[in-house]
Amino acid sequence: MNMRCGFCQNPYAIGRTEILAALQHLEAENLTHYDAHCPRCRRATPILRQRLELAMPNWREELKEAEKQPAPAPLKPAEGGAEAPPVQEKKKASEEAAAKPQAKSAESKKPSAPKGPPRKRSQKMPHGKSGTK
């Protein structure tokens, strides 16, 4: 569901899982609106319950299906002393091409002569107009 923050006018989207959790919370607490927080300014934008139900009309059935599905198992670190050797990623051709000219230009640069003090502006402008108002 696409939203726009009422304070900073930042557009953002609310996913189906967040809508489902919001409707479940509204049902349990018997509330009339849900406060969606803007990812940019973190202010709460109220969303009416009817608008959430329009976005997900069969939310009760989807909640039952979501409860039936097992939660994904958290990833565990690999056990054992043997570590896999690090995999080297190949650079893209465009990255290699961009890296080569930089290396050449850094080597071929010669130190430039020191510059003198900055020039002072003349009091008179060209065409006879004065510089001050």
Q: What percent of the chain has pLDDT over 70?
A: 53
Give residue 30's domain range.
2-63
| Percent with pLDDT over 90 in the chain | 30
Residue 80, domain member (yes or no): no
Residue 117 belongs to some domain of the structure: no
The greatest distance separating any two alpha carbons of the chain, rounded to the nearest whole angstrom, comes to 86
Residue 109 falls inside a structural domain: no
**Does residue 10 form part of some domain?**
yes
Which is more confidently placed, 6 or 101?
Answer: 6
The mean predicted confidence, pLDDT, of the chain is 75
Task: Note the pLDDT of residue 38.
Answer: 92
Residue 13 counted as domain residue: yes
Residue 55 belongs to a domain: yes
Domain count, the chain: 1
Q: 39-75, pLDDT tens digit by residue? A: 999 999 999 999 999 988 888 888 888 888 776 656 5
**For range 99-128, the mean pLDDT:** 60
